[in-house]
């Protein structure tokens, strides 16, 4: 859940202020936090700590992203063989 900046500093950052930088790097950069897994087809869940900016209905063969000028479809992204619709 989102916290106010002052609350975050007081509760989460303050207790760590005396730790060495090497500990902070190892503990907070290379971490594997436990994340809840959600599965509900009625909702979109953002991966990791991301934010969903928009949603759109696409066909499996429609381009969803361009990488270095090459369009990729959902089917290609999921490595699903092409099959009749």
| Sign of the C-alpha dihedral computed for residues 41, 45, 47 and 48 taken in this order | negative
25 and 55 housed in the same domain: no
The answer to the question of residue 12 being in a domain is yes
The answer to the question of residue 45 being in a domain is no
Instruction: Provide the residue range defining the domain that includes 16.
Output: 1-31
Are 66 and 46 spatial neighbours (Cβ–Cβ below 8 Å)? no
* pLDDT, tens only, 25-55: 777 665 566 666 667 778 767 666 666 777 8
The answer to the question of residue 58 being in a domain is yes
Q: How many CB atoms lie within 10 A of CB 39?
A: 6
Q: How far, in whole angstroms, is CA 85 from its chain's centroid?
A: 30
Q: How many domains does the chain have?
A: 2
Mean pLDDT of 63-81: 83
55 and 84 housed in the same domain: yes
The residue that leads in pLDDT, 67 or 44, is: 67
* pLDDT, tens only, 9-21: 888 878 888 888 7
Q: How many CB atoms lie within 10 A of CB 75?
A: 16
Give CA separation, 13 vs 4, 18, 75, in Å. 13, 10, 43
């Amino acid at each position: 859940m989102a916290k106010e900046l002052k609350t975050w500093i007081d509760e989460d950052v303050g207790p760590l202020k005396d730790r060495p930088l090497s500990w902070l790097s190892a503990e907070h950069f290379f971490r594997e936090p436990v994340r809840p897994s959600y599965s509900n087809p009625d909702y979109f869940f953002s991966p990791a700590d991301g934010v969903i900016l928009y949603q759109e209905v696409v066909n499996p063969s429609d381009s969803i992203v361009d990488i270095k000028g090459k369009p990729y479809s959902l089917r290609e992204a999921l490595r699903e063989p092409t099959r009749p619709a």
